[in-house]
Amino acid sequence: MATLLIVFSLCAAAVGLLSLVQSRWSKLAAIVLGLIATGYGWLHELSTEAESISFAFFNSQVAYMWTAISRVFWPLVLFTLTFVYVALYEVRERRWIESFVALTLINALGIFLVFTSRSFLALFLGWEVMSWSGLLIVKLTATSEKPVRSYLAWSVASGVLLLAGALLMSKGTWDLSFNTVVNNLGEYDVVAMVGLALAFVAFLIKLGIPPFHLWVPTTYEGVDPMVSAYLSGAMTKAGVFGVVLLVLITGFEWFAQFGMFRNIPWVSFFIDGVIIAGAVVATIRAWSADDASVLLAYSSIAQLSYVVIALVLMKVESYTLPAAFMGAMLLSYAHTLFEVSLFIPVGWIYHQVGTKSIASLGGAGHKMPVTFMFGFVAILSAVAIPPLVGFAAKFLIYESIVEMKVYVLSALALVVGAGAFMYAFRYVYGIFWGQIKHEYKEVSPVGIVLGLFSIALTVLLGIFNTSFQQFLTLPLESFRNLLTLDFETTTSVGGWHSAYLLALFITAGLIALLVWSSGAPARWISPRNTWYAGEPPKPEWNLQVSSHFYGPFERILDPYAEKVSLEKWLQSLSSFLEKAIGDVIRNISADLNASALASMLLLVVLAIVAYVAARGGVLL
């Protein structure tokens, strides 16, 4: 308990300084305390002791325990907090920063409770702390009511579905422990299975997996990119944890009882088919997105779809760690790293020029070379360029799908991967290359160090991904355990040697550089040249290639998409949810002191923890 109480106390002190003192030095001290709490959380990763806290609530046990799975998931939040807090230095004049830091500490506490939960009631309580503090985070920088309404509607829906699902899986007994749920599902009780489906949908909503994804692009578009970086990097991992939990509770054999298609359960094949179709749609949506945050939102949706696909196909075996699980977790780490590293440069540029519109940007790389490399390496990792960490993760997932001999799904997954190159081009060219439209300025040495650290981490995690597998399988007694200098990764159906891939990639890059440098110099071309992708420029256009680069694709695909799209139905559902909780939004004052509310919430949680510890783990 001591370690957890220290982390909570540091968070409470930081939030108190932000909300009660309200001075320049208190803001600095609060951020320092927040970083110390985060750093202490990193040191806690060295602990192998199973610290726990539990108390009784009516007939249910609310229990939290530091377990192996918690140890694997918690660094995802710490990564995000560390990167975003450091990145905020470049926009330190923004008035919402102190409230944002306070609320993210609260939100991180809620996510921590989710990761350490040992019953569905404990998970639900952490889920609500995370969701409601997330609402205040979204409201801090929302440009309109729309992103707040969308986030709230879908968060309420996920909370209701999670609680209803947990109650159904307990068969109405309020005994929501994981063991009870496992026993009830083992009986193949219809009520319990309905509860399982509801809980699964709740986790998919938080992940933003189609068809439960509409809140993601709407929310990300309407808030500051720094807020989007936190939401994408940290909060989505609560959904990943939920899917892992359900897969471990049910397992491959449980799904197999409902029938097999070739060598996989029908249920798994159906779920993965729906998800991969949604990933294809999300990828196409990313092509046409003009707002950089919307593009990255759809990219996040497509990337996290891989994680769910791998987990649903996973065979849980006691003697080995499945390649699907290793791939899903490595991609979760890669997703946090590259999504945060993609949103932060957008945020820095947004605070300089005041827009996220790709058609209005361009040329930032000429004035911000380190910021460009920060985002460029991240987008290369997102599209799985070897030997970066994104490639290592997706290779493991492809291997796990091929191992199950589900070749249709593997082919569709490759289509999604290939489509990612198209929106990657828009991100790179539209923001960093092309015409210089604004006065850009490179970030300070703090931002430069952050960018270089992200680049190094992306490369090293890809080359030495064996260290990550070591982290998954062995207790972390020392950071030396992570320094496994093994370039070779082997799975049951293949493998790769990251040093050879790195050498091949560098050689190809040098050849490309040689060809480019020896080519013809730049020249003026006709506006009717096909370099404009068949789009004759209009006078009001920015002559930025990426502005309408995919216009022909959009004209071809849009008529068909309108016929088969569920977008209108989903928009109607979203509007209904938003209208149903509209009164709640109107009751949230525009002058709400988010820091004070965060301080009170955290102090209440801390008081409950201290009280329960003093009572020896008994609340009632």
| Most confident residue range from 169-178, 192-201, 235-244 | 235-244
| The token pair that represents 201 in the structure block | 């949908």
* 514-559 pLDDT per residue, tens: 887 776 566 665 655 555 555 565 555 555 555 566 666 667 666 6
Amino acid type, 185:
L
- Give dist(CA 134, CA 132) in Å, integer: 5
Q: What is the pLDDT of residue 517?
A: 75
| Three-state DSSP class for residue 89 | helix
DSSP character string of 337-362: HHHHHHHHHHHHHHHHHS--BGGG--
Q: What is the mean pLDDT of residues 259-270?
A: 78
User: How far from the centroid of its chain's Cα atoms is residue 435's Cα?
Assistant: 32
DSSP character string of 105-168: HHHHHHHHHHHHBSBHHHHHHHHHHHHHHHHHHHHHH-SSHHHHHHHHHHHHHHHHHHHHHHHH
- Give dist(CA 394, CA 588) in Å, integer: 42
Q: What is the pLDDT of residue 604?
A: 56
Cis preceding-peptide flag for 225 (omega within 30 of 0): no
Amino acid type, 240:
V
Q: What is the pLDDT of residue 38?
A: 58
Please determine, for residue 476, whether its predicted confidence score (pLDDT) is greater than 50: no
Q: What is the pLDDT of residue 121?
A: 87
H or E element at residue 264: strand 264-265
Q: What is the pLDDT of residue 360?
A: 84
* 198-242 pLDDT per residue, tens: 999 999 999 999 888 889 999 999 999 999 999 999 999 999 999
Lowest mean pLDDT among 101-110, 165-174, 268-277, 606-615: 606-615
pLDDT above 70 coverage of the chain, percent: 67
More reliable by pLDDT, 132 or 582: 132
Cα-Cα-Cα-Cα torsion 180, 183, 184, 189, nearest 10 degrees, comes to 180
Tell whether pTM > 0.75. Answer: yes
Please determine, for residue 616, whether its predicted confidence score (pLDDT) is greater than 60: no
Buried b (16+ CB within 10 A) or exposed e, 431-469: bbbbeebbebeebeeebbebbeebbebbbebbbbbbbbb
Query: Where does the pLDDT of residue 46 fall: very low under 50, low under 70, confident under 90, or very high at 90 and above?
Result: very low
- Give dist(CA 225, CA 317) in Å, integer: 41
∠ CA(136), CA(142), CA(148), 5° rounding?
A: 60
- Give dist(CA 155, CA 136) in Å, integer: 12
Please determine, for residue 382, whether its predicted confidence score (pLDDT) is greater than 80: yes
* Average model confidence (pLDDT) across the chain: 77
Say if CB 298 and CB 285 are below 8 A apart: yes
Smallest CA-to-CA distance from 17 within 41, 34, 39, 36 is with: 34
* 419-439 pLDDT per residue, tens: 888 889 889 988 888 777 788
Q: What is the pLDDT of residue 472?
A: 66
Strands 52-57 and 60-65 turn out to be antiparallel
Helix, strand and coil content of the chain, in percent to the nearest 5, comes to: 70, 5, 25
Say if CB 58 and CB 619 are below 8 A apart: no
Say if CB 281 and CB 216 are below 8 A apart: no
Please determine, for residue 124, whether its predicted confidence score (pLDDT) is greater than 50: yes
Burial group, residue 82, by CB count within 10 angstroms (0-12, 13-18, 19+): buried
